[in-house]
Amino acid sequence: MVGIVVVSHSRALASAAVALAEEMVPEDARPAIGIAAGLSETVFGTDAADIAETVQSVDSPDGVLILVDLGSALLSAEMALEFIGPDVADHVKISAAPLVEGLLAAVVSATAGSPLTEVAREAELGLLAKREHLGYEDAEPDVPMSTDELPDFTSGGVLHYTTTILNSHGLHARPAAALVAGLRGIDATVTVSNASTGKGPVPATSLTLIQTLGLRHGDELEVTIVGREAEDALDAIIHLAEAQFGEAPLGPNADAPTPTPPKPKPADPTRTGRQIVIGPAHHVSITPDISEYVPGSPEVELARLNAAIGQAGEILDELERAGGLGIYQVQSIMLADDITQAKLREAIASGVSAVDAVQERFTALAADLDAIPDAYLRARAEDHRGLRRVLLRILTGKETSTAFAAGIMIINELDPLTSGSLDPRLCQGVITTSGGSTGHGVILAQARGFAVLTGRPEAVDISEDTNIAFDPVTGELLIDPSPAQLDVLAAKQKERDADAVQAAQQAHDPALTLSGRQITVEANIASLEDAVLAMEKGAEGSGLVRTEVLFADWKTAPTAEEQAETYVAIGKALGGALITIRTWDPGGDKPLPFLPQDPEANPMLGERGIRAMRRNSEIFDEQLRAILLASRETPVRVMFPMVTGTLSVEWGRQRIAAQRRLVGGSIDQGIMIETPAAAIRAEDFLGMADFISFGTNDLTQYTMAMDRGNARVSSIGEGPLPAVWDLMTHAAQVFKGKPVAVCGDMASNPELVSRLVGIGVTELSVRPPLIGVVKQAVRRV
């Protein structure tokens, strides 16, 4: 790959230009980019010796392109080439391109694997899009992109494809870069034109030329492909177009979401996150060392901060693309938060270093959340600390590496970013010494198949390299286990492995009990990606679509049409099986940005679920209308959360009836049984609920008067709880003959499946990765 060197009078300018250009391409695909700018962080100037060294540091047989700003930058660059000698200088080019435009084009072109001449040409065409936009007469490219260079399409084997640009801002630099990058490495010549305006064709390898097509929202993009791998190129383009060239259709201004298939998962079916692990203990510190950080001027610190935020954003994007369950996307949004960024900049402007500003801000954000004993809010504190770690790591250039010798990692807490960096080839399992089981990082690690044991303070005292073993299902932790103990574990694991393999094989078969009763095993869905993953794992629909999580990033309430599109997409992703949409369930630990709530002294007992809808009936009606609209295209039912009495259910049914008069549609209506009141008086709801679904987590905490996020009391909720079982048994018996579902964590526990089926449960809605094992558990009942 061609290397790039930026020569500028100002280091801050060069760093910012590089950060801007790097945004265009994924981190792992970037060319080597060197900066030779400024005599120091603050003194303007260029230094030929520094440039020569920098060129050599990014040099490869593919060559190096040097971009310069003004005046002495050019003289110094030329001088540098004399210093480094003809061997290297022969494949180094100095570009006449304008720095920012040229750099951007060069980075994209180099990423696509273009040769030096092509990268240099792309850079020099960097001004073209601007000139064209401003209507310069000579803007039409001449020599560099004469039609002579376009392939001969008159011969056979030509593929054509036309698609409408759906991106709201058209095919601007970022999506155009996605197109260029998407075709990288495919042996085919692709040209694109704007069929709506007649502009083009231009080669699809050129970011600059693609931008000159002026493809706006609604324009027709026409693609012509020839070459050995033309069909691969066509596939790639169709995928890109469907994904709107990488512009995630999220947020209030985006178009309809499109399911993107998750990346292939490791094929090992025994890695379910439930496997017993044995290995040497390794304590891992994830606190970056900031002691050697040398702060610069406020301008420099700001540039560093901006660059670090940009880089962190890319890391998060990359992790999300690799299957982040939407969690990294939420982190991105937290990182991009206006107030957070404003406070960071304010601190830097007042003379605080970027490192200290990041340290203070994110520590404060985490501390605010830490003060609350709620597990879900504590999980967000971990998210903030994770962002702090990654920013400090980038700023100090110090790896707080989680790369370590093979074994079991003992770590303070598992934030999402640390979780994303776990290497399955090295890490057998993770033990957290603080931190609960509901954190985002833990969920992600489990989804990736890591065995995780959470909240084990005693693990702090385990000596490095001691052999340890743990069972993530039972929570059993053995330090220096005896051979006999290991034999027992191995036998247990063997059984579980065989089970997991069989579960994977039969994932798509129905789950029948030994007596032939079919139990529907569904998935809990919080994102479109969940639905795609669930389908892959054999889900038979969804017993819980968490709408408040699905739209958690929206600042304004999504319209009925916007919601309906997402619900339909989820239904379709699950192969058209029945999905259960829970109406907005805000409050407690799940605030909705578009549904602000007053602070409550005791939010778990406050305006949660359907209670919160009474004062927000417009938002509620809009959602009901969306569910009815969706029901026209895919099977859907609706369920009300946090029901305690019949009044709220009657009210909800009336609102549905009113919406149905407007838009038609027909849906079953059910309630969640997650309060003792609803369970005890289940018969009251018989006439008004077509089905019930147990929210076992809340039902447990409300029955046992036990905050499930408070580690000191949460052990009360472990094991079989007769009070909870009695309530469930009663409600299930009352609703005998109607669907009785469980969508809480109890359903995801294979050990409890037999008992749940025994009390009359007919549907189990579980975490997507566990569908296979739960089905397997049903088959043993």
**CB 94, min distance to another protein, A:** 13
Q: In terms of CB distance, is 48 or 757 closer to another protein?
A: 48
Closest CA to 640 of 620, 664, 658: 620
Is residue 135 exposed (0-12), middle (13-18) or buried (19+ Cβ within 10 Å)?
exposed
Instruction: Provide CB contacts within 8 A for 370, sequence distance 6+.
Output: 378, 381
Q: In terms of CB distance, is 43 or 491 closer to another protein?
A: 43
Binding mask 12-41 for another protein (x = CB under 8 A): ---------------------------x--
Q: In terms of CB distance, is 49 or 367 closer to another protein?
A: 49
**CB 69, min distance to another protein, A:** 12
Q: List beta partners, residue 520.
A: 763
How far from 158 is each of 153, 183, 271, CA to CA, in Å? 6, 16, 45
Under 8 Å between Cβ of 420 and 442: no
Q: In terms of CB distance, is 45 or 717 closer to another protein?
A: 45
d(CA 737, CA 760): 9
Under 8 Å between Cβ of 359 and 293: no
3-state secondary structure of 529: helix
Under 8 Å between Cβ of 133 and 170: no
**CB 465, min distance to another protein, A:** 49
Q: In terms of CB distance, is 7 or 699 closer to another protein?
A: 7
Query: Among residue numbers 244 through 283, which ones bind another protein (CB under 8 A)?
Result: none
Q: Per-residue DSSP letters for 718-762?
A: SS--HHHHHHHHHHHHHTTTS-EEE-SGGGG-HHHHHHHHHTT--
Under 8 Å between Cβ of 61 and 33: no
d(CA 362, CA 357): 8
Q: In terms of CB distance, is 80 or 535 closer to another protein?
A: 80
Q: In terms of CB distance, is 72 or 644 closer to another protein?
A: 72
**CB 221, min distance to another protein, A:** 41
**CB 38, min distance to another protein, A:** 8
How far from 21 is each of 16, 255, 490, CA to CA, in Å? 9, 26, 52
Residue 710, both tokens: 């408070």
Q: In terms of CB distance, is 79 or 248 closer to another protein?
A: 79
**CB 70, min distance to another protein, A:** 7
Closest CA to 522 of 568, 567, 578: 578
**CB 7, min distance to another protein, A:** 11
> What phi, psi does 731 have (nearest 5°)?
-65, -40
∠361-452-702 over CA atoms, to 5°?
Answer: 80
**CB 11, min distance to another protein, A:** 12
Q: In terms of CB distance, is 46 or 332 closer to another protein?
A: 46
Q: Per-residue DSSP letters for 30-93?
A: PPPEEEEESSSSSS----HHHHHHHHHHH--TT-EEEEE-STHHHHHHHHHHHHHHHHHHTTEE
Is residue 28 exposed (0-12), middle (13-18) or buried (19+ Cβ within 10 Å)?
exposed
d(CA 300, CA 40): 10
When binding is defined by CB under 8 A, the residue of 2, 4, 7, 9 that contacts another protein is 9
Please give the DSSP secondary-structure letter assigned to residue 584: -
**CB 479, min distance to another protein, A:** 58
Residue 377, both tokens: 């809010």
The number of residues in the chain equals: 781
Under 8 Å between Cβ of 280 and 465: yes
**CB 45, min distance to another protein, A:** 2
Under 8 Å between Cβ of 145 and 206: yes
Our separate counts of H helices and E strands in the chain read 28, 23
When binding is defined by CB under 8 A, the residue of 1, 23, 32, 44 that contacts another protein is 44
Binding mask 341-370 for another protein (x = CB under 8 A): ------------------------------
Query: Among residue numbers 45 through 104, which ones bind another protein (CB under 8 A)?
Result: 45-50, 70-72, 75-76, 78-79
Q: In terms of CB distance, is 53 or 255 closer to another protein?
A: 53
How far from 394 is each of 250, 356, 364, 387, 398, CA to CA, in Å? 27, 13, 20, 11, 7
Q: In terms of CB distance, is 45 or 259 closer to another protein?
A: 45
Binding mask 210-229 for another protein (x = CB under 8 A): --------------------
d(CA 227, CA 158): 8
How far from 291 is each of 213, 295, 301, CA to CA, in Å? 50, 11, 16
Residues recognised as catalytic: 440, 743
Q: In terms of CB distance, is 43 or 605 closer to another protein?
A: 43
d(CA 329, CA 320): 6
Q: Amino acid letter at 248?
A: A
**CB 480, min distance to another protein, A:** 59
Q: Per-residue DSSP letters for 415-484?
A: -HHHHHT--TTTEEEEEESS--TTSHHHHHHHHTT-EEE---GGGGGSPTT-EEEE-TTT--EEES--HH
**CB 76, min distance to another protein, A:** 5
Q: Which H/E stretch holds residue 632?
A: none
The size of the interface with another protein (CB under 8 A), counted in residues, is 17
Give the number of other CB atoms < 10 A from CB of residue 271: 18
**CB 35, min distance to another protein, A:** 15
Q: In terms of CB distance, is 77 or 391 closer to another protein?
A: 77
Binding site for another protein (CB under 8 A): 9, 39, 43-50, 70-72, 75-76, 78-79
